[in-house]
Each structure stands twice: as C-alpha cells, then as structure tokens.
Amino acid sequence: MAGERSGEDIVSEYLGQNPQLAQWVDTLRDYCESNKQWVARREFIVRNMETFPTVKPGVPSSSLDRLLSLSMVWANHVFLGCSYPQAVMDKIKEMGEGIVVQDAPVHKTTKDGVMGRGKRSATEGDTDSCLKRAKCGANEFDSRPAGRTATWAVGQKSGPPPQAPADHQPFFNRLYKAVAWKLVSAGGFGPNLDHFEILRSCVESCKETLACVFVPLKDIAGLPAGRTQKEGHVCEIRCQTVYMGTGYGRDESAAKAMASKEALKVFQGRKVTVKICRRRYKGKDVEDLVLLDEQPRSQGFPPALSYPFQDEQLEDASS
C-alpha cells in the first residue's frame, strides 16, 4: 500500500480483486449520491469494515447499520458542512483519517455554525440545512408550503392526488437523514430505545409533528392473523397525512410505542419512498399515502384507522 497511489486507487484495486465484495458494496450506494460522493463514502466503508468484525457482506446486522450511518454522517460533514454532537464528530474524524477528497467543498464558518454557498447558516440543530444533498433528484429540493396538504381534498375525488408522493418525498428524504444520525447517536436501532421519542424529535427537527390515532382493539375489523384478542388498543401514526406504522398494545401508551417501532423499521434501508397504496378503511378499499422501504412485502397493510383524503361522499357511503 506504499507509493504514490491514492486511497481511492487502493480501494478500487482491492475491490477489483474481490468482485463479490465489490458487487455487494455497490448496493450500498445512496440513490442521490454523485460519483464523487459515492467513491469517497465507499472508501470510508471499506477502510472501516475491519473495525466492525461482525459485518458480513450481504448479511443485515446492527453493526452494518451503524457503519453505514456513520459513513453517511461523514459524507454529510465533508460535502455539506453538517455538524453533529461532538462525540459523533470525533468518531467520524477518527474513522475518516487518511481519506483524501480531491476538490472537497469549502464551507465558510460563522459564529453560529457552517454557511455554504451564500445560504442561511446552519447550526447543529438545524436539520433542514444539514440534510440536503448535492446533485440529488429534482424532488429533493422541490419543497412545498406546509399548508399545501390541507387544500388537496377541495374540489377533487376521494384519495390522495397523483402528485402527492412527489410532493411529500422531499420532507421524508430529510426525515430519513435525521433518523439516521439520531440512531447513530443512540448506538443503533434496538429494542431498548424510546422509539416514539426518537421519531417525535426527528419529525419536530424537520418542522413537522406526528399524528397518532387510537382505537380500541375490539372495534377493529380485519386484523392481521394472530391479532384476534379483544382487549387493548391500536395506534396508527401518520406525518403529513402519510401512513408510517401501526402498533398494538394493552393500552394507548404501549400501542403508540409499538407503532413508533414499526415506523422506525422503515428507515433501516437505504432510502424511504412515499407511494400510493391500497388499504382497507371502514370495510372499503381506498388509496392511501404510505411510507415504504425497499423490502418486499409478504402481506398487506393493517386496516386504516384514519383517512385524511375522504370527502363527504365516501363518509356517507362508509357510515
């Protein structure tokens, strides 16, 4: 590994000698990364794999999730000037030592934090600025006013409009990044986390709020297999009218915790996508906005507890 070769050349040569590893590593590329960003983050991943001995190519694990999350945080810091809690910054600087990024962006600093390319300054808690990525798809920056969703149901048939997924995608791209670094700070996704608090804080850092709907379990029709008991509650979580998860518990608090855990599971993949999907609501099939990961689904969604897109005609027909 001596000589004048760059770290990028060494990593490329190593992957060339290990084609199966190279093929797997390429699946870790984020859909909106430029070639320059990916080559740098790929070097970060490959260099640090040996410090995560439980990481096995093609095998999901909490260690892999942590490595990938740290690589994203490092790339955000290098290319966007994002700052994170000091413990996280110290960790990624240590892991990124020796990686040289040619023509890396220069970020001006102010007393309040980092300011890039004439835009407003970003403080540690300003997730909006930190989470935007260079050269992403057009939808990444196609932000809509927060009140846009409130007017959709006026003058249209029931159900989300065709442009709804594209309208919501920029927000959930930002939320994905907020959740990623929050889980890094918490040591990764696990059963002992306060899932609702993590989800709530990330959503609020993106200037939005969660909506939770509770219904007694005995009032729910069409429960998934194994959920035939009549005691307890069901909780459905939405954000910006988009369905995120359903949870079952002995009381509202337990149901909310389970719904939050299910919602956070969606953020374990490489990206999240807003789509229009069919769900059951009050005994009828309706089109709903749903947040999905890249994992194939073996069964349908739980029945909807709320439906933000209904008009008076659907309300009358369902009553």
Which tens digits make up the pLDDT trace of 133-150?
Answer: 333 332 332 333 333 333
Which tens digits make up the pLDDT trace of 150-190?
Answer: 333 333 456 899 999 999 999 999 999 999 888 888 777 77
Which tens digits make up the pLDDT trace of 225-240?
Answer: 554 456 789 999 999 9
Does 155 reside within a domain? no
Number of domains in the chain: 2
Say whether both 174 and 235 belong to one domain. Answer: yes
State which of 118, 136, 154 marks the end of a domain.
136
Q: State the average pLDDT over residues 120-137.
A: 34
State which of 117, 136, 155 marks the end of a domain.
136
CB count, 10 Å around CB of 19? 9
Q: State the average pLDDT over residues 262-281.
A: 90
Amino acid identity of 229?
A: Q
Say whether both 183 and 299 belong to one domain. Answer: yes
Residue 112: the pLDDT is: 41
Does 236 reside within a domain? yes
Say whether both 108 and 191 belong to one domain. Answer: no
Does 175 reside within a domain? yes
Say whether both 182 and 301 belong to one domain. Answer: yes
Domain of residue 51 covers 7-136
CB count, 10 Å around CB of 92? 22
State which of 115, 136, 157 marks the end of a domain.
136
Q: Which helix (H) or strand (E) holds 236?
A: strand 233-239
Say whether both 180 and 303 belong to one domain. Answer: yes
Does 151 reside within a domain? no
Say whether both 73 and 177 belong to one domain. Answer: no
pTM: 0.52
CB count, 10 Å around CB of 134? 15
CB 258 within 8 A of CB 247: yes
Does 18 reside within a domain? yes
Does 268 reside within a domain? yes
CB 262 within 8 A of CB 243: no
Q: Cα separation of 36 and 134, whole Å?
A: 10
Which tens digits make up the pLDDT trace of 189-206?
Answer: 777 789 999 999 999 988
Which of 207, 204, 188, 91 lies closest to 144, judged by CA?
A: 207
Task: Cite the DSSP H helix spans in the chain.
Answer: 7-17, 19-26, 35-48, 62-80, 86-95, 127-131, 164-185, 195-205, 252-265, 312-318
Q: Cα separation of 245 and 237, whole Å?
A: 5
CB 92 within 8 A of CB 85: no
